[in-house]
Structure 1
Amino acid sequence: MNETRVAIVTGGSRGIGRAVAERLAADGFAVVVNYAGNTAAADETVAAITGNGGKAIAVRADVADEIAVAALFDRAEREFGGIDVVVNAAGRMMLSTIADLDLNELDAMHRTNIRGTFVVAKQAARRLRNEGAFIGFSTSVVGAQFPTYGGYAASKGAVEAMTLILARELRGRDITANTVAPGPTATDLFLDGKSDEQIATLAKTPPLERLGTPADIANVVAFLASPAGHWVNGQTIRANGGLV
C-alpha cells in the first residue's frame, strides 16, 4: 500500500463534508477539498487540516460538470500521485410538497445529486487505485419518507440504486463502493428554515434521542475508507441513531 493515501472529498468545505475531510486527514490521508463556490470556507477547512499537521489542498469544481471534475481528479493526481478514496458529499436540498414543487428547483437539485454523483463516480471508477473506495451520500429520508422531502429523497434514491451496481462493475479491482445515508444531522443545510420546535421534534425521533453530528457521519465514512471497512461493499448504511 502507498505510504500516503489520498482522498477527494466533494462538498468538503462545510458541514458533513468538512467533518469527513478533517477526519480523513487525521487518519493520515492527503485530502483534496472540493467546493462549489465558497472559497473562504474551503480555505478554512484546508487551514484547519494543515494547522494540525495534515496535507490538504482546495480545488473548485461543480460536481455535475464533467470537465471540471476531470480537472479535479487531474489535480489530485498531480499533487499527490494518485487517488485512493473518493467521497461524494456534495449535495443540494430543497423542500416542497410534490403539489407545489418548483420544477426548476427540482432540476437543479437532481443535477447536483444525481448527475453529480454519476460524474464523480465515473472518474472514481476510472482512476481509483487498488484497495480504494468510493463513498456516496444518500439520506435516511429515503426510508423515513417525511412529507416535503419528495424531490430530495427521489434524488438520493437514485444514488442508492447505483451503489451495488457500481460495486459489481468494479469487480476484480479490490475497490469498494458504498453509500452513507445520514439521518437528521446538525448542519447548516439541515437546520436552515426549520423552527426550534421542528428541530426538537426531529431530535427526539431516533431512539438515541438526539440529532446526529457531522463527526458521527465522518466516523462511518472513515471506517468505510479504511482497511477495517473494506469487506463492506455495495451497501447503503443508514447512520441515523435508529430513525428507520
Structure 2
Amino acid sequence: MPTSSAGRTAVVTGASSGIGAATARALAAQGYDVWCAARRTERIEALAEEIGGTAVSCDVTDPESVRRLAQAVGGRLNVLVNNAGGAFGLAPVAEADPEDWRRMFDVNVLGLLHVTQALLPSLRASGDGLIVNIGSIAGHVAYEGGAGYTAAKHGTQVVTETLRLELVGEPIRVSEVSPGMVHTEEFSLVRFEGDQARADAVYNGVSEPLVAEDVADAVAWIATRPAHVNIDELVIKPRAQAAPHKVARDA
C-alpha cells in the first residue's frame, strides 16, 4: 500500500514556478505540509497561501541562505525535492562563456549539495526520508550546443547515484526524475536570456510536450510509495521525443 502522507513534511526548492511550483501543489494535494523555497519571495508566498504551506526565501547557491532554510524546517523532514536548477545559453564548446557554465554548475550541482547537506540530519531524524533530485535527459545524453548543461546534469545524476550508495542501510531513499522536453513558462526563456522567439522555437510543431504537472505527478507518485520501495530513476519524455535531438514536429 502507498505510504500515508498525513503529518508528513516536504521541502521543494525552486518552487516559485514551473516544475517546482507544480510539485509543491502535487505534494500538498497528497497531504504533505510543504515548505516552498525559492528566491522570489512574493511568488512562493502566494503559492504557500494557495496550498496551505510555508514560504522560505532561499538561494540554493548561498550556503548561509540554505542554513536559514534548514533552521526554519527544523529537526524533522520526510521529503526533499531538489528542483532548483537551470540552463544558460546554447553555445558550442568552442564559443561557450565559462561564466554560463559556472552558473549552471553552481545551481544544478553545488546548490543540490548545499541543500542536501543542510537537510540530511532532518531527513534521518524522520525515520523515513526521501530525496528526489530533478535531473534531465541531458544528464544521460549529450547534444550539440548543450555541453555546459549536460555536464551539469550529468553531475546531478552522479551525485544522486553516489548518495544512494553512501546512504544505503539508512532510512532514506534517493531518487531522480529525469524529464525530457517540458514546456514551462520560464525554462527556455531564461536559457535564451529573454528571447521569446528562440524560446518558443524549442516547442514549435510539438503539440503535446510534457508540462510541469507531468513531472510533479511523478514526484508525488515516488513520494507515496511504501517506505521499502526505492524508485532509483524515472526518465520521462513526451511521446513526440525519442532523444534530445530527435523530436517529431508537425509540418
Range of TM-score over shorter length: 0.7 to 0.9
Q: Residues 152-173 of structure 1: CA distance to partner in whole angstroms, max 9, x if unpaired?
A: 1110100101212211222222
List 4+ stretches of structure 1 deviating above 3 A.
195-198
Paired residue for 1:200, among 199, 204, 211?
204
Q: Which secondary structure does the structure 2 equivalent of 1:227 belong to?
A: coil
Question: Is the alpha carbon distance of 1:230 and 1:214 closer, same or farther for their aligned partners in structure 2, counting shifts above 3 Å?
Answer: farther
TM-superposed deviation, 1:188: 2.1
Q: Look up the match of 2:208.
A: 210
Paired residue for 1:23, among 17, 26, 34?
26
Q: Which amino acid aligns with 1:232?
A: N
Q: Which amino acid aligns with 1:94?
A: F
Question: Is the alpha carbon distance of 1:149 and 1:9 closer, same or farther for their aligned partners in structure 2, counting shifts above 3 Å?
Answer: same
Question: Does structure 2 retain, via aligned residues, the 8 Å contact 1:163–1:236?
Answer: no
Q: Look up the match of 2:59.
A: 62
Q: Residues 32-77 of structure 1: CA distance to partner in whole angstroms, max 9, x if unpaired?
A: 10012x2221122112213xxxxx1111111122222122021012
Q: Which ranges of structure 1 fall in alignment gaps of 5 or more residues?
A: 51-55, 204-208
Question: Is the alpha carbon distance of 1:238 and 1:2 closer, same or farther for their aligned partners in structure 2, counting shifts above 3 Å?
Answer: closer
Q: Which secondary structure does the structure 1 equivalent of 2:80 belong to?
A: strand
Q: Which secondary structure does the structure 2 equivalent of 1:176 belong to?
A: strand
Q: Residues 129-174 of structure 1: CA distance to partner in whole angstroms, max 9, x if unpaired?
A: 2221001111112334332211011101001012122112222222
Distance (whole Å) between structure 2 residues aligned to residue 2 and residue 196 of structure 1: 38
Distance (whole Å) between structure 1 residues aligned to residue 107 and residue 16 of structure 2: 16
Asked if 1:86 corresponds to 2:90, the answer is: no
Paired residue for 1:190, among 178, 184, 187?
187
> Structure 2 length normalisation: TM-score?
0.83
Q: Which amino acid aligns with 1:200?
A: N
Residues 1-244 of structure 1: matches in 2 within 5 Å?
3-36=6-39, 38-50=40-52, 56-77=53-74, 82-95=76-89, 96-128=91-123, 129-192=126-189, 193=195, 194=198, 196-201=200-205, 203=206, 210-228=208-226, 231-233=229-231, 235-241=232-238, 243-244=242-243
Distance (whole Å) between structure 1 residues aligned to residue 5 and residue 215 of structure 2: 26
Question: Does structure 1 retain, via aligned residues, the 8 Å contact 2:210–2:237?
Answer: yes
Q: What fraction of aligned residue pairs are identical, expressed as a percent?
A: 27
TM-superposed deviation, 1:197: 4.3
Which moved further from structure 2: 93-102 or 151-160?
93-102
Question: Is the alpha carbon distance of 1:239 and 1:196 closer, same or farther for their aligned partners in structure 2, counting shifts above 3 Å?
Answer: same
Question: Is the alpha carbon distance of 1:2 and 1:240 closer, same or farther for their aligned partners in structure 2, counting shifts above 3 Å?
Answer: closer
TM-superposed deviation, 1:230: 5.1
Q: Which ranges of structure 2 fall in alignment gaps of 5 or more residues?
A: 190-194, 244-251
Question: Is the alpha carbon distance of 1:231 and 1:118 closer, same or farther for their aligned partners in structure 2, counting shifts above 3 Å?
Answer: same
Question: Is the alpha carbon distance of 1:33 and 1:230 closer, same or farther for their aligned partners in structure 2, counting shifts above 3 Å?
Answer: farther
> Structure 1 length normalisation: TM-score?
0.86
Which moved further from structure 2: 152-161 or 137-146?
137-146
Distance (whole Å) between structure 1 residues aligned to residue 129 and residue 104 of structure 2: 28
Distance (whole Å) between structure 2 residues aligned to residue 121 and residue 35 of structure 1: 15
CA-based RMSD of the aligned residues comes to: 2.0
